[in-house]
Structure 1
């Protein structure tokens, strides 16, 4: 089978050690491949610089020097560099292979992350960058594409809080720093994350990476970058002219500490930012601690049985300072709370006239007066008790029911409709991660929290989940990939894998995928089956070159190699029985008894001679020459044709000789 693989490096072995098994990604400066280190029997990532960059001598030299420096930078959140070299004049790096996704892929899938997830990822990012800063290195291109998120150690790939984060492309940092602009005068940085000083002066230090990390945090929280524009330079200068907005202006309801982190990291004046990634890391860890306590307290409150909203989505509850949370009660002498400490309206009648001070004896009041005051005291006490009961009942009603209202019905509405209707009712809306649905159209609300008609505090936030439509996944491009990698990629999409019959291939190494059924790009539902056809390598028999051979010789040659001849005759100006074409082509691999189709010439097409007798000799000569024949005249060329050879009506090949005998 003749299958063409687009990337010619796939299947090759670099320096006799690194066998390339598939392409992972292609960037602006290099292409990353998955490879097998056949000496140590481990999977690695191999990054090869593009030919356009290899012509820049300064870039290549700095890249090589930097690779040696990064190889000595050992940190669990830095993609390790194992080796470096050149292949066909192109510098390459051999790096740790991280099984997972880039932060860019995660954001493309989820749009934005929760505050806890965003800080967990940023924590590990800054730890990696801080290690580089301590070694005197500046990354200069901190962005989601250079952040790899590996599967969580617990096995839950969706749990980003426990995932392992690694920062890549430190190897390009100093190489880029060799010049602030490239050969075309363009700024060599990603404009969405570029620090103002890099735009203005081209100079970068540790605070430049802090700025970019702050923009990455902004994007994780809001699902977008701060600035956009028609041209890259327009976006770059917005970083110079404007302060990055706080994320809560785009994603309402975020804790204030996150606004503060983004503002601190993205100050236009580098001197107002944290001094390096380590300093920013300390601020992020403090924020994570505070955010974690708040979420833990909220979770505990939501588990209280009977509490309105218990079991609803988590809401961040602000902490209360000690003076406001607890009333201080002065101690009572003697350890007992005496009746005299009660307010006058709470004392029993017999306690009303008691006093700890001595008093003079007086005459008892008249019986009628005593009864009047006693009755009045009881009426007042009853009224006060009733009032207190009303206060308690009213407070209880407000805490348990009065401040709550019913959650509006947002299900099946479009995003715009849901947001508009919720605001009309006095609520904010938070858009959560999408969810596949077979019944709710894509982009419409498939669930909400709290649910419709549930209790909710007036003015609170409703979390809605939008439908992603029916769950379908396009079959990925797997040609040139190893079986293990192809199976893992399909199973991650919840597609079943079937291994088809392996076939020979002249271009694909043995064991790699050469085709899929259905083809790449076909959308399938989870549970659908994808058949993988693997290469058996090149077939054992090489088809010889038979063009130009006589058909009899061609048959003999094929038989000697265990191949069969299949013939078809075609019109040709080549001599009859000459092989003028073949399929498969020469050099193709073939199995025993494979048929090789040979195109065999019939010989030149023949022409029928006209009868020229009794015509003037010179006129007959002109007619024959016009038809492509050669003419031989005998006796008298000025006479009349009396004989011709071959005679008229005879089929002859083009360019044949025709004799004309002319006399009076």
Structure 2
């Protein structure tokens, strides 16, 4: 069944203007449709976010829509021939969408799926246009964050079929879309890595930090894949692939495809350095290197070999090895025009061949030198040129430079203030952990203190993150070998402590760590691991409700010590109220069992009933909860009582009265 039949958007009219005609592709975050702009009568592409990528609850949608709208406005300002233009944005059925330029062609992923890998000329031609688009974005302060073949569109070549990739127009899409969705995801789900793991830069994996050098790394991986037909790393899980970018250097393409020029190995190597500071600063810098590499390869390919015939040592035979016909801008349709030559970045040019101008200048020089005045004039010119050269050399070598101020060990605010007073601009490298310099203190500077720097130049500061700290891993319940591996991987020092009995954990597994799991520690902190000896050999009996003397006898027979703790209670005196350890717990011989013992109910004083009528006395005592025993004459007068008046007795004590 054709899946487009079930697509409810087909035929829909968005905002009374864009009529959905067909579905082009479905990606991880959005679906792309072709549509007709019925107002301007042109074909456009509409990218609408999947419902699953919108926030899960409707009360989060407004924030997501606002971020998406802000990103759309930013990208709409990117006007460049190699950037897919954004025309409009809106909301349809609660989901944001973008209206974009419709590019006739395929994605680079489709091309690689068909061709597997490209020749160097094709790979560099596509990379050059891809970097031109990224450079325009970087100049506007936009970082793509998700450079990959799926986001690179290869338009139809105006000079031929789809195989003519050198002349094809390349356009980069999805600027800012990943960032808008990621911002929404971060607000609820924590840090989430949105970039495709096969192309992700190491700093995105370790710190979640992205700048133009992040796009440079991903572009280098795309170039690697175009040259070799595969990405540098693979694995069973995405996280395994991501961490290989952090732990390993990208191999040289020529190790997989023998015969590739060394200049391509060097180009990929510089773009994919694990340290962002070692890469080209942005896509524009990498673009200049790609253009130089492309010219070097072109010069090598068009080199003319001169072969002399055996029978004729005079006539050379020229044999060019490659010739590529240039495509004139006017031949391209308006939607696929490349930048005009004067607008494109300057490329290195070969030195011009000598012409007849030099010969004419030599003739003039000879005429001037023929006379005395001419010779004097030449000498004056030489002196003047010498003075200008000296002054220029002083200026370019010394005069325009000064020394960098001392900024290390200052706080960020202090360093910015001192640099500003001295007329310098401050930029920041990635911060680093340091045990000595507090957080936000200047760890190092480039150029160093007292180093030579242009007046009004830029100083790069590396700030400290303070001492590196992280939580102790939770290894309770693990065998010692596994626990030791986890702790060593966390850069901690492992030490065994004294083992102890435990009722719930078997022998040899971790009962506790000191410091405990979750506490913040520095690398190389010593962690004491306490292992279980298994269940103790003696089982504590149930003593609650028994008399103290019976409990003492039972515990003594088991070889256990007794600790007694008396407490107020309405239970009878010496009755066991609670015990620690509890009934059924395992302990070793000589262990102490703490018993909580009742002091008995609070005592009350016996009232005086002597000299009262016998019946009245009995009624009074019974009313206070004392059972009464009457002796002799029940109708007489009380002459004695036992216990006597004021005696402290437990409630309910029987009172005997004698009546006569």
Q: Please report the TM-score for the alignment, with normalisation by the length of structure 2.
A: 0.48
Q: Please report the TM-score for the alignment, with normalisation by the length of structure 1.
A: 0.48
Task: Give the number of the structure with larger relative contact order, counting CA–CA contacts within 8 Å between residues 6 or more apart.
Answer: 1
